[in-house]
Each structure stands twice: as C-alpha cells, then as structure tokens.
Chain A
Amino acid sequence: MRKLGLLTAVILLFFTTSALAQQRTITGEVRDDVTDEQISFPQITVDGTTIGTVGGEDGRFTLSVQQGAVRLIVQRIGYRSSIIDVGADQQVVEVTLTVDYLRVEELVVTGRATETRRVNLANSIGTIDGTELNQVPQETIDKAIAGRIAGAVINQNSGAPGGGLQLNIRGSASINAAAEPLYVVDGVIVSNAAIPSNQNEITSAAGGSNPSLDQDVLQNRIADINPEDIETIEVLKGASAAAIYGSKASNGVVIITTRQGEGPNQVRLAFQGGAFDLSNKLGSRVFASPEDAVDGFGAAGGVLCTSSPCQILDNEQFLAGRNAFSWQGDIQVSGGQPGSTTYFGSGQWRDDEGIITNTGFERQSGRLNVNTVVGGVADFSFNTNLIRTNARRGITNNGNNSISYYMVFPNTPNFIDLRADNNGLFPKNGAVLADGTESNFVQAGSNPLQTAALVDNNETVWRLLGSMNMELSLVNNDKDRFQIIAPVGVDFFSQTNRIFSPPDLFWEPVDGLLGTALDSNSDALNINVGGNGVWTHQFSGSQLTTAVGVQYEYRDVQINRTIGRNLTAGKDKTDAATQVSIIEQRAKVEDFGFYIQEEWLGLDDRLLLTGMVRFDQSSANGETTKLFIFPKGAASYRILEGSNPGNFFSEVKVRAAYGQSGNQPLCDVRDGCQKFTSLRLDANLEGQAGTVLEGTAGSPLLAPERASEFEAGIDITGLNDRLTLEFTGYVNNITNIILERTVAPSTGFADEIANQATLRNTGFETTIGWTPFVGSNFTWLSRTVFYFNKSEVRDLQGLAPFEADAGFGLVLGGFFVQEGESLTQIVGTDVDCTGNPAVDEPVPGTEACLVTPEFGGTGIAGQRKAGDSEPTFLMSFVNDFTIARNLNLYTMFEWRYGNDIINLTELLYDFGSNSADWNDQDGTIESVQECNPNCSGEERLPSFGSQAYPWTQAASFFKARDISLTYSLPTKWAASFFNSQQIRFRLSMRNLFTITNYKGLDPEVSNFGNQNVGRSIDVAPFPPSRSLWLGFDITL
C-alpha cells in the first residue's frame, strides 16, 4: 500500500502541475465486474503520458484531458487493469475491473528502491499476500510460507512451539556460510539470528561426538513478527534476482511489507481459539510375556511385567497428549486518504499451549504504521513494532545425560507407567528387584514425564522494529521524474533464556551438583541506513529508469550467560549456586555497499532490459577495505501482451536474467569471525589464566562466496486470463565456497578456513494458476506449484571428500561432501563395499558403494551412498472455493518426494531393543542386505557398525498444511450488528494429517537446526502436532 501512496503522490503532483493545460473533462465510475460494487481509489492515467488522477472512495473520478480521443488506463491494486478508449466527445465512462485472482498486475519490489510490474518481470519472484497468509492462524511467518512459493522449501526443525524453521530457497548454496535467506521488513534488513538457549548445560548434547550447540532446539527470530501485520511477502529466489542485495543475498531475499491503511477508518477485531494435538507417536516394542520383558529389559522387566502379554502404557501420550486451550486475539485499525495521511495500527495477543506440559508460545505485538504526504512531494512512512514473544520449549533433541524425552523413551519399556501418583510424585524409570536393590532402565531412573513437569525452559524476547522511509519527488514532469528515497531502520531485540532444573529431578544428582539455573541475556542490534536516487525518463515510447543507492548496515550481537549449579535451597537463582560460571560472547559486523542500476522499458512496454552493478564491502571479509562487485543483467520480452483478451493466450512473456550475489564469511557470535586464527581466553586452571589454541585456522584473505545464477523462463496467461503458467529454469554456480578445509590435526588445527570449492544448483519451477470458475455463486481458484533442485559439488580443488559438520560420524550415516555428487548426499559406513564393482551391488533402498579416486579407487574403508536429504521434487496444491460469496473453503497440501533422513531416534530404540518393529514378523531373521529397507529392529541392530544404511530412511510425505472454512455473514446481517461491514466465522486446521512412510516422528526435523548441509538428522525431536481453530472476525 505504500506503493500506492507513492504513486498517488506522484500522480497528484503531476495532475496539479498540468492543470493549466486542461481542455476537457471526463468523469467516470469504476466498479467490480462480478459484485458490481464500487472500487475505491482507482488510478486513471492517460496512455502514453503521465497525466492521471486517483478516484475517490466511491470509485468516481474526474480527469482533465486534451481534446480529441484518448485512451485511459484504469488500475487498482488487486484488479486487472483495463484500457478504455474514450471518444473525442465522450464525457462519461463506466469502467468495470476484474479481480486479479492470478495477480498478474501486481507491482513487485525488484530493487532497493524500484519496482516492476509482474508482467514485465525478468525473474520468477514469488509473492504471497497477507490474506492468503492468514487463512489459518500461523504462529510464525516462515511457517506460513510453507508450500506457497515455487523453489522455497520450509522445514520445521522440531515440533516445539514457536519458531525454528529453515527456509531454503533453490537448494543449499553454501556449506559453512549463512544458510538463511536475508529478511527485509519494510525496507530494513532484520535479524533472523538463532541464539541457543544453553540447554546444552543440562543435556550435554555437545559433550559427545559433535560439539555443536546448534542442538539446543534453536528458534530463529523471524518468528517474532506477527503474520497478521503482513501485506505481502515477496521472495527473490536467487542471485539473478537478488544481486542488488550484494554479498548477503545468495540464499535469496524475503521482502516483507507490512500493511498500510486507506479509506474510511476501520476497526477489525478477530478472535480464534483452538488447541494443539499430538499428531504422531513412535510406539515401542510389545512384550509377549514376563520372560520376553526380562529378555529385553533385564530383571527389572520381570518385576514390572506380570502378565502375558505385558500391559501397555502409552507414555508418549502421557507426555505429549495435552490439548490445552490456545487462542489468538487481534485488533487492527486502519484508515486514511491516499495522498495525505494513512495509518495502520495492530495489536495481537497469541497464546499457544503446547502438547507437552510446560510448553507453549506466546506473542504480544503492537504495530503502528503511518504514512503521510507533505506538500505533495515528500512522502514519509514510519513503521514501529514492539513485540514480546515467549517460548517454552521443554527439553528435546540430542543429549548425553538421559534427559531429553526421546533420548529416554528408547530405553523405557511400555509396560512401565511413568505417570505421577496421586501425590504428584513420579516413579523412577525402573523397578526394585526382589533382593531390594534398585534397577533402573536409564541412568538415575530419569522419567521424561517428571522432566517435562519440573524443568522450565523459557525464552523471552522483547523486540523493537522501527523504520522511517522518506521519499522526495524532486522533479516530476512529462518526461522526467526524480526521487530520493531514504530508508533508515533499527531492529533491536533482547532475548532472555531461563532454564531451571530443580534438585528434585531424578537425574540431577548425577553430576554431584543438585539443581541447575541457567540465565542468558542476549542483545542484538541491527541498524540500516540508506539513500537512493531514482530518475525515470520517458522518451519516444520508452522509459529509462536510473537508480543509484548507497547502504550502510551495522549488526551487533552480544550474549551473556550465567550458569549456576548446586542451588542453595533449590532456588532458581544463579547466585544461589555454589558453582557459577559465566560466558560472554559478542560479534559485530559493518557492511557498506552501493549500486547503480539502469532499466529500459520500451517497445510499447514489451521489452524490459535491466543492468546493475553492486559494490560491497564488509568487516566480515578478510580484506575489510576491498569492494566486491556483483553485476546483474536481465531481459524480458512480452511476445503477446494482454491487448487481445479473446485469444487463447492473452499474454506470453519470455525472460532471462543473469546475476551474481554473495554470502559473507560468518562473524558468528559464538565462534567469532571465520577470518581469525585465535587463542581461546575462556579457560583457566585453579584461577590461573591459560590460553588454548582454537582449532580452526582462519584466513586473512577470506572473501564472500559468489553465486552466479542464470535464470530463464516463460510466463503465459491464457483462457481469458483464467490460466497462468510460469516455467522457470535456473543454473546457479557458486564459487569461492567457504570450506572449513579439514587439515591434518597434527598441525594443531582441525581445519582451516578457505575459499575453496564450487557448487552448482540446477532446478526447475512451475507455477500453474487456474480459476476454473469465477462467478457470483461459485468461484474456484487453484494454484499448483512444482519444483525441484539438484545440487552438485563441482570442484573441491584438490580437497578430499569430507563429512559435513552436522553429524556424528559416517558409522551412523552422515552428510558427505564429495566432488561430482549431490551436496546433500547421505553416506554411511558399509563394510560390504570393497571397491569392486562386481561385488558392490546396491542394496534395496540405497545406491552404489562409493569409489573415489582420492582414496585409491577402493572406496573409503567401505562406504555407501544411502540417500539424499534433498527431495526429488516438491509439489503443493492450493485450492480456494467460494460458494455464494459467503462460504469459502481454502486448502493447501504439500507433497515432497524422494528425500531421506538419518533416523538416529530409531537407532536408539534399536539399541534399547525397544523399537515398535523390533520383533521380526516373517519368522526368519534376514541380513540387512536382504531385508532393507523393511527390516525389523532385530534384523537392523546386528548390522550397526558395519552398515549405516538401515537408519537412513525415505521421508517422502504428503501433508495437509492448511485447511480452512470461512463463512461471511451476508452484508445486510452484518450491518445489523453494530453496523459492521463484515462478520466472518472460521474453522481452520493446520497440519491436519501427514501421509508418509517415514518411521520417525516427523519427516521435517533437524537435530542441528538450520543447516546448509546436514539438516535431516533425527535425534529425539519434539513430537509434531496438528492444530484446530475456531474463530470469528468483525470489521467495523
């Protein structure tokens, strides 16, 4: 809507300056062709000139034009534009516009300060509007993007309430640099940092084979933003579209625009209530008899199981079976006259109660957006947003202290009842033997139900987003328009993590220190300052737009943690601890960049040529004064343009774009900048300081990674604008990949940072939009998205293949970066692989053994490719049915095919001889070579150590992401209730069902959170949930 404001200002300005040349007046009215309702604030321009006006709220307009016949272009956001020929003596026109269901008309932000009509776009840019976003109440923005944009894969790392999602656009474009796209809200780059909760201090997840703190079930901070505030989300998918964002854009850019009001003052109140519900359980081995129980769980099994078969208690359900009332209330106030002052204010209170006790997510958000035009030339917009979020996430994911719920369940037989007794006392996870000694199933008798009830893991964020954008129209005449656009933005958040594990927990004495209190405070500040000049020049039917701009960005994150153990009186207070340790971590990055962009729109708006060069400098680079250059070139040509709507095809466009963008070296708040070689300062011995070598050697010449993408496509609109087809193919070569090049550890370093590798992503995307029916009684809109991406490690420049950081060694299966193979291939140990092709037959469910020249052509001590975490393809299906204008059914389904996961949760169950499929059904215990991928636990376990592939499992799925049914009261009835304009009732469901062969809890999980490579590792995740909501909203 800000766009509208800008345009309006410009048009009004022009209208006033050209008023002297008026020769005759045309009046008219604009209406919706289906509903016949007036369309407020239509824009009318005289074709071939910049003469125009904006109509009123009632759709009426008056326009002064030259004598003789003119051609008018009538536009309104959300509608197809219409071209009206007005005869020389015609004074009054009636215009009808058609709803732009397929959004062919919309303006898309393509530059820092410029936008392009979708019909001219040279890139495939995905857009979602807020109405669609909020069909089903979404916790977070990123959840809402899932399945809606071709090329954008969203994975929910765990079922824990709140965020923790990875948005991966067009495959992984890096190994060690940022895995996340850049998020821009109202022109300001905002933080999507994910700061660990520090739960590792009690789970010791990092104390085992993998020292990464990413196992803390991280919540990335884009989760803070209230989805109800969103007007549109645009996704610049690759380097060719996002080049103007320079060295931070190779993962794509997500541009979020929040709402601006217009029209009469309006209040919308909405409330919805619902509940979350456990949507999947693993189950466990069924024991036929006490003897069977002794066989599986030793003497304690015999004590607890007294019948044949043993009793079955559903401890998973006891843990995660909560259906507590969750709700969301919203208020939105908006209004104002375009061209003068408009405003949008909103408030939200959301309270989700998780399926596990003591878990949930809360958001309170208040926003005020004001836009005002001063003196017809200056357009200011102010956006402020104060947010509080709170997530209580329980203790999940990997650990080494038998605490995380699904680390304990694999060793908990289902014949034990873990529930508390009437006094609220939980039983130990074990039994007392006949001789009076205690025998537990897990260390200290750790009981997940007790852990869930007593441990508090609380993350609170206060966040302030503020931005100001000033647009000055300095020159505006027939030929030229010159604007200065200067955005300034601040994003500050303060995150508090409090974790308390009281002394009463069974597992607390294990470290000898009763009770743990963990407090962390993290502050993150992002500041953006920019200035752009845009000059539009019209000449002989063409338009030339020159834009230049400069940007400065400052990012600073600081973490302070206090860890208190052995709590006096068991109090949740870090200074009541006898052992206190503190951590301080900080990182700061400054970026500077500027660009020059030239756009030529000509041949009757058929041909658009764009050229751009971006210069970028960053303190994260090894050479902080060096400018890195990212060019871009793009062309689109409309072979058919929409002037003949009667034809089968009304609009056909071919397009191609080439561009480069980068991915900066990391300056991580925990690990420091990748360019440094360091000594650790955080160690001492009895209070005497000692420095210790930090195991990664930096690189003083470290440069950003560089993605060079070529994208080409064809966009077709046909069948009377009822069908749009968009086909896009791309090839993205990423060079200068930052590797943590494994070096001989005998050098004192585990690895060395270097720009050393080349990747390639190739992919294809199709979006089919279709409106089979449009009418006042029945409208059906349908959109189907299909896409795939294939990655290939092109060149490691002499480096031997290596396992990506996220993982536990190839003996469990890991992500193995290897020349000529997919970046996300999963490889595991297989002693049957001898390097002899005659012997190395693929086992069902796997691929061939690895034979790499680096290892003498014999395979690496026997290793086999077991899968790939990247799907073969993804599809999603959006269908929107409106019956009699009152009843709307919206559905969104996602289908992902061909992706694999390393299921280590099942491995843990197998080790506990406790998997649901433990007992072999067919009577013969086969080797995994014969039974894979349908082995029983009994068959899988013996192969551990020699074969990893039985635990790498297919994870294709079909999910019903969103289903909602909305009933709008007829306008007459609504009006009788406080004179409302609209009253709607809605029943909505999220993740109602999942169809999958995957045996784990959820096929999207990632133990290590957001990762370029290595995200699909399943270790004891938070179980998944579905949610159901009933709500209403009133617009007054």
Chain B
Amino acid sequence: MMRKLSFLVLTGVMFVGMTSCQNLNSPNFNFEDLQNLVDNPTPTGLYTAAQGLLITRRDMDAGGPNDFYSNAGIVGRESYDLDINDPRFETELLSSQLSPDSPAFGGNFWSEPYENVRVGAIILAGIANSTPPLSASDANWLEGFVKTMVAYDLMEIALVRDTQCGCPIEASESPSEPAPAVSADQVFARVIQLLDEAASDLQQASGTSPIPLSTGFDGIAGVVQVGFFRSAEGFRQFNRALRARAAMYEQDWSGMLQAVGESFITDLPAALNLGVYHVFTSQSGDVLNGLAQFGNDPNLRAHPSYKADVELKADGTPDDRFTRKTRPISSRSYQGLCVGDPSPTPWAPDPRYTDDPGGGTAQRECDVGFDLYPATTTPVSIIRNEELLLMRAEANIQLGNLGAAQADINLVRSASGGLGPVTLTSANAIDQLLYERQFSLWWENAHRWKDMRRYNRLAELPVDKAGHGVASFYPIPQEETTARQ
C-alpha cells in the first residue's frame, strides 16, 4: 500500500513537473529587445534608433567632464583637470603614451561610435522592410541621416587613432566575429563614400527631417530660416561641412575647398556660430552639458600656456576669444601642476588674473576657468561657420591662394577676436592659421590636439613636468586587440 502511495505521489510530482510550468516568464522590463528592431522595423522604431545615434555621439562628446571634448582637450593641453579623485587626469592623460588597458584614459572613445555603426547598419537594413513602409522621401532622409552620422563616427575614430588604425568600417555579423580592420586611409575612404552617398540621398529627400531633430539643428535666425538644418538641404550642407573636414584630414585641399563651398559657410560676421550643435536639457532621461563649469573652484581649468600664447588687442587687452571664453577662478595645485608663482604680480593684460605667465607653465597658477559653457543647457558645437571659414583659409593657404586665405583669417580675427589684421606669407601662414584655430575652436572637439597632430607639431605643445609628454594617439583598446588575436 505504501509503495503504491509513494508511487502515486511520485508520478503526481513528475506530472506536475512536466506539465505545469511552461509559462515561466521574465519579461525584459527595463529595455527593448534589439531583435525586435531587426525583425519588425517600424517607422517610429527606426526614427527612434536614428535619434539614438545622435544621443550616443552627444553623450560621448560632452555628456560628462571626462568626455571626448575634455579628455582629448587635456591631451592637447587646452585644459587641465585637477581632479583629486582620479589622479590619472594629471598623470596618464599627460603622458606620451596612453594605455590601451585604461578604460577612461586611453582605450576609450572606441566602443560608442561602433555602437552607432551597428545600430546604423540595422536601421539601413530595416528601411526597406518597414511596416508600414516609409515614403521614398522619408526613406532617403533616413538613409542620408544615418550614413552622415555613421560617417562622422567613423571619422572621429580614425582621427584619434594612429595611421595604422586597425579600425573596422562595418558592423560584423555576430559579436564574436569582428569585422576586418583597415588603415586610417581606408577608413577615410569609407567616410567619404558614406558622406557622398548620404548627400545624394538627401538631394532626393525633401521637407523637414522625419526624425524629430533637436534645436541644435535650428541655425541662427536672421542668417538662415529657423530649422534650416532640419531641412533636407540644410542637413545636406551640414553633411558637406563634415565632408570638408574629411578632406582636410586627407589633405585633399581642392576637395576641401569644394566641399566647404557646398556647405553653409557664410561671410556674415554675425554668423560665426551658425552650425549644428549638441543640445542638452534638464528633462528626465536627457543629459546636461558635462562641460559646463560652475563655482570658483572647478576641476577643469584652462591650460596656463593660453595666457602666454594669446595675442593682445590694440588696447593691450587679450584677444576677445580668450576673454569671452574664460573667467577667473581660485587657484589650486595638484601633482606638481599649477603650483603658482610665489610672488604674484597681476597679469597686465587682464588684472583679474593674479599670476604673470613667466617661467615654465607648471610654475603658474591655473586661475583661468572656462566660461564657454556657462549653463548646463549651453549647446556644444559639432561644426560651425567659424571653423568653415578657417577651413577655407587653410585650403587656400595649401593651394597657394594666400590672399583669399588672408581675407578669411582677418574676418575671423576681427569678428571673433577683436584683433587687427595680419598679412599672411608662406612662412607665417600655417602658424597664424593654427593660432586662430587654437583660440577660435578652444575646447571644441579637441581641435587643438588634432591640428598639432596633423601638422606634426605635438612636440610644440607645453609639457610641464618631467615624465610627461603629449600622446600622439588613443590606442586601440586592449579588448579589441585581444579579441582579434
């Protein structure tokens, strides 16, 4: 009887085990399944993913104090970060060789653009399969947008790596099999191909972007129609501006001149800031400008060399670009940097700063703070007219058209810096161009470091401490090299 009973119970348990548990469920509460975007693309899903490309780019560029504009800015000696919480801002980041193993000081700014490359590929594949289908114009818009953004991501990857690069340009099939790695030149070839394809896609698109683009695409009222960069033509001109940058890094000077001409470049002195911007809001889920600086003792501060480098206006005060972008802050030293001048004499051109730039820069107070992004919602430039003018000048210098270049440079000097004109000669043209770029594009997109790098002038950047140096590239992260072995 007992055997039967136990047998019965046993069978019952087995039965329960086999049948009653087909519905165990752990929903993906916090996220959306990626596969859903792949298998069931919808217009909204695709537009939302496309918006994500901008979000990823923005969050990497300027979403935090250690993001790309700031991090590579430190390498290029635009700024210091006197952060006592992680001493690597004052050590690793200032060394001549960044570590591929370091997740925030060398091996970074790699994975995020490639997230965009993968998502971009998924969007492009989904355009044809969307339910309901996209209109032809919307499909072209989306294709042009995605290719432009992916091209921008790929360009920024190649720009900060060494010439070997070893950078893939495609999304691989599976996470375990990376796509083939190619050289920097091949990356640029791909960037140019994508940008040109995007431009022709955008030519076939019309109207306003189906992707709800931010006020960073507004343009400047009075110069262009508000929302200009949300129109297919406006976005195409943004695409051409990026195309000009690609040509600049490829030293294709005539291509650069052509692309600049097709972009939104304008000689209006009031339009220096016309361009496309990363924007920030305080809404939940959005991010704030991570470069915004507050208080009189922030960690991020201007490199003391800028005081020595700055040209003075006719009245003896500094270049307006210096004055406009900085403010005095209290001094602080760390790691033997920004130690300070023991006998402080105010800096004659701007007595708000107590320290005179004599001696080595390490012996100077770092009392210059940034006022470039005064609010947490101040936009951060992706590309703007002031850079286009300087790009046109550079192309003309390189093509021997010093007169045309001089006009653009003097326009920028006067409109942006309040400085008198200069006369360009073949001997001083590049130096002068680099000075204008240094102050016009200060703390934007690490242009200083990129410029000194492409002109092989990294050795001219100030090195304040024995053992420090200027890294010439961000290494491919350890994870990438390892996975490829």
Q: Flag if B85 contacts A435 (CB, 8 Å).
A: no
Known contacts: A209-B104, A512-B375, A685-B58. The answer to whether A743 contacts B175 by CB under 8 A is yes
Cβ–Cβ < 8 Å partners of B111 in chain A: 695, 745-746, 748, 750
**B151 adjacent to chain A (CB < 8 Å):** no
Cβ–Cβ < 8 Å partners of A688 in chain B: 51, 212-214
Cβ–Cβ < 8 Å partners of A480 in chain B: 2
B229-269 toward A: CB 8 Å interface, digit per residue (1/0)? 00000000000000000000000000000000000000000
Q: Flag if B376 contacts A513 (CB, 8 Å).
A: yes
Cβ–Cβ < 8 Å partners of A568 in chain B: none
**A802 adjacent to chain B (CB < 8 Å):** yes
**B178 adjacent to chain A (CB < 8 Å):** yes
**B30 adjacent to chain A (CB < 8 Å):** yes
Q: Flag if A509 contacts B483 (CB, 8 Å).
A: no
Nearest CB of A to B1, in Å: 8
Cβ–Cβ < 8 Å partners of A673 in chain B: 26, 28
Cβ–Cβ < 8 Å partners of A400 in chain B: 83, 85-86
Q: Flag if A742 contacts B214 (CB, 8 Å).
A: no
Partner of A745, one of B58, B342, B477: B477
Cα–Cα, bound, A574→B119 (Å): 35
Known contacts: A442-B84, A746-B110. The answer to whether A690 contacts B297 by CB under 8 A is no
**B95 adjacent to chain A (CB < 8 Å):** yes
Q: Flag if B279 contacts A743 (CB, 8 Å).
A: no
Known contacts: A208-B85, A679-B32. The answer to whether A590 contacts B24 by CB under 8 A is yes
A558-583 toward B: CB 8 Å interface, digit per residue (1/0)? 00000001000000000000111110
Q: Flag if B86 contacts A443 (CB, 8 Å).
A: no
**B56 adjacent to chain A (CB < 8 Å):** yes
Nearest CB of B to A866, in Å: 15
**B456 adjacent to chain A (CB < 8 Å):** no
Within 8 A of A (CB), among B1-55: 2, 5-6, 9-10, 13-14, 16-17, 20-22, 24-35, 37, 45, 48-55
Q: Flag if B6 contacts A685 (CB, 8 Å).
A: no
Q: Flag if A443 contacts B27 (CB, 8 Å).
A: no
Cα–Cα, bound, A693→B54 (Å): 12
Known contacts: A667-B26, A691-B32, A695-B111. The answer to whether A743 contacts B285 by CB under 8 A is no
Cβ–Cβ < 8 Å partners of A580 in chain B: 282, 284
Cβ–Cβ < 8 Å partners of A911 in chain B: 84, 87, 90, 334-335
Cα–Cα, bound, A747→B375 (Å): 36
**B434 adjacent to chain A (CB < 8 Å):** no
Interface size for chain A: under 10, 10 to 19, 20 to 34, or 35 or more residues? 35 or more
Closest A residue by C-beta to B44 = A689
**A615 adjacent to chain B (CB < 8 Å):** yes
Known contacts: A444-B295, A624-B25, A688-B212. The answer to whether A438 contacts B31 by CB under 8 A is no
Closest A residue by C-beta to B168 = A746
Cβ–Cβ < 8 Å partners of A579 in chain B: 282, 288, 376
Cβ–Cβ < 8 Å partners of A802 in chain B: 479, 482
Within 8 A of A (CB), among B332-353: 332-335, 339-340, 342, 344
Q: Flag if A435 contacts B175 (CB, 8 Å).
A: no
Cα–Cα, bound, A3→B423 (Å): 99
**B296 adjacent to chain A (CB < 8 Å):** yes
Q: Flag if B175 contacts A687 (CB, 8 Å).
A: no
**A643 adjacent to chain B (CB < 8 Å):** no
Closest B residue by C-beta to A582 = B284
Cα–Cα, bound, A677→B254 (Å): 45
Known contacts: A535-B2, A693-B119. The answer to whether A590 contacts B26 by CB under 8 A is yes
Within 8 A of A (CB), among B206-225: 212-216
Known contacts: A209-B102, A399-B85. The answer to whether A586 contacts B30 by CB under 8 A is yes
Cα–Cα, bound, A129→B212 (Å): 65
**A475 adjacent to chain B (CB < 8 Å):** yes
**A533 adjacent to chain B (CB < 8 Å):** yes
**B162 adjacent to chain A (CB < 8 Å):** no
Known contacts: A435-B354, A690-B51, A811-B92. The answer to whether A681 contacts B30 by CB under 8 A is yes
Within 8 A of A (CB), among B71-99: 82-88, 90-92, 95, 99
Q: Flag if B175 contacts A298 (CB, 8 Å).
A: no
**A20 adjacent to chain B (CB < 8 Å):** no
Q: Flag if B30 contacts A672 (CB, 8 Å).
A: yes
Q: Flag if B49 contacts A691 (CB, 8 Å).
A: yes
**B416 adjacent to chain A (CB < 8 Å):** no
Q: Flag if B285 contacts A587 (CB, 8 Å).
A: no
A612-643 toward B: CB 8 Å interface, digit per residue (1/0)? 00010111100011010000000000000000
Known contacts: A594-B13, A667-B26. The answer to whether A747 contacts B281 by CB under 8 A is no
**B305 adjacent to chain A (CB < 8 Å):** no
Q: Flag if B21 contacts A829 (CB, 8 Å).
A: no
Nearest CB of B to A594, in Å: 5
> Can you sample 28 A-B contacts with CB below 8 Å?
A208-B66, A209-B104, A297-B333, A399-B85, A401-B85, A402-B83, A408-B84, A437-B354, A439-B332, A535-B2, A550-B17, A580-B282, A586-B30, A589-B26, A592-B21, A619-B24, A671-B30, A680-B31, A690-B53, A692-B56, A743-B176, A744-B483, A745-B480, A747-B178, A811-B92, A855-B485, A907-B87, A912-B334
Q: Using CB atoms and an 8 Å cutoff, list the residues of chain B in contact with chain A.
A: 2, 5-6, 9-10, 13-14, 16-17, 20-22, 24-35, 37, 45, 48-56, 58-59, 64-66, 82-88, 90-92, 95, 99-105, 110-111, 114-119, 167-168, 171-172, 174-179, 181, 212-216, 279, 281-288, 292-299, 330-335, 339-340, 342, 344, 354, 367, 375-376, 477-480, 482-485
15 new A-B pairs (CB below 8 Å) besides A443-B82, A684-B286, A743-B178? A209-B104, A400-B86, A411-B84, A433-B331, A482-B6, A512-B292, A512-B375, A580-B284, A584-B30, A617-B21, A678-B33, A685-B55, A694-B34, A742-B483, A747-B171
Top 5 closest pairs, chain A to chain B, by CB: A748-B118, A678-B31, A690-B51, A744-B178, A745-B111
